[in-house]
């Protein structure tokens, strides 16, 4: 069995103090680093995704820049404040995430809404599915941010791609506790195993 880890969007803008910071984001970054250091041989390959949005347009309606209450205000469901603009500090990986174990970087967005890592392109221009097939990956573990959006979408797409999928629930953080719990329920119903990093 060839096993991969997906590190989803552990970026400055999605951690505390960022444009869309979630509670526990920095702890997730540090936790992933600690986990990989403790288990250096657990994964055959490690993928790390980043939102990498254009700074000169609304990225296909993904960005909404109006003040709260205005018609063009973000709804925090399908439209969002400006975040993770390519080349900015907000788009960089959180400093507590050590990148030495990362095998493949994936950038997503780039002019359009993108939640799943499968919507991105690797740093060498391949699709994620091409990379998974090339490495012969048949099992995927998912960690990162945010549980109720990009972690959810990435794990569901991994299932759809025919992989065995686990989400490590002590190495994720969500936007909202209720929608995050619903996301985990939805994942479990899709056949994803939800367990802690200590269980696998």
* pLDDT, one tens digit for every residue, the chain (200 residues): 899 999 999 999 999 999 999 999 999 999 999 999 999 999 999 999 999 999 999 999 899 988 777 888 998 889 999 999 999 999 999 999 999 999 999 999 998 999 999 999 998 999 999 999 999 999 999 999 999 999 999 999 999 999 999 999 999 999 999 999 999 999 999 999 999 998 87
Least Cα distance to 195 among 164, 157, 173, 168 occurs for: 168
Domain ranges of the chain: 3-199
pTM reported for the whole predicted model: 0.95
- Annotated catalytic residues are 9, 108, 150
Rounded to 10 deg, the angle between the 177-189 and 152-160 helix axes is 10
The helix, strand and coil proportions of the chain, stated in percent and rounded to the nearest 5, come to 30, 25, 45
Question: What is the layout of strands, in order, in the sheet containing 139-145?
Answer: 121-122, 104-109, 45-52, 3-8, 139-145, 164-173, 193-195
Q: What is the distance between the alpha carbons of residues 137 and 161, in angstroms, rounded to a whole number?
A: 11
Report which secondary-structure segment, H or E, holds 159. Answer: helix 152-160
Per CATH, the homologous superfamily of domain 3-199 is: Isochorismatase-like (3.40.50.850)
């Amino acid at each position: 069995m060839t096993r991969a880890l997906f590190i989803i969007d552990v970026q400055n803008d999605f951690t505390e103090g960022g444009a869309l910071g979630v509670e526990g984001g920095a702890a997730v970054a540090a936790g992933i680093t600690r986990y990989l250091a403790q288990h250096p041989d657990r994964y055959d390959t490690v993928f790390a995704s980043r939102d990498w949005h254009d700074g000169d347009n609304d990225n296909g309606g993904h960005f909404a820049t109006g003040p709260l209450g205005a018609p063009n205000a973000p709804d925090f469901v399908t439209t969002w404040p400006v975040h993770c603009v390519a080349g900015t500090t907000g788009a960089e990986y959180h400093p507590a995430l050590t990148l030495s174990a990362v095998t493949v970087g994936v950038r997503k967005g780039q002019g359009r809404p993108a939640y799943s890592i499968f919507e991105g392109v690797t740093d060498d221009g391949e699709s994620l599915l091409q990379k998974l097939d090339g490495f012969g990956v048949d099992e995927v573990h998912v960690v990162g941010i945010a549980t109720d959006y990009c972690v959810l979408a990435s794990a569901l797409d991994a299932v759809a791609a025919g992989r065995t999928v686990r989400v490590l629930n002590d190495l994720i953080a969500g936007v909202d506790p209720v929608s995050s719990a619903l996301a985990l329920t939805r994942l479990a119903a899709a056949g994803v195993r939800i367990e802690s990093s200590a269980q696998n």
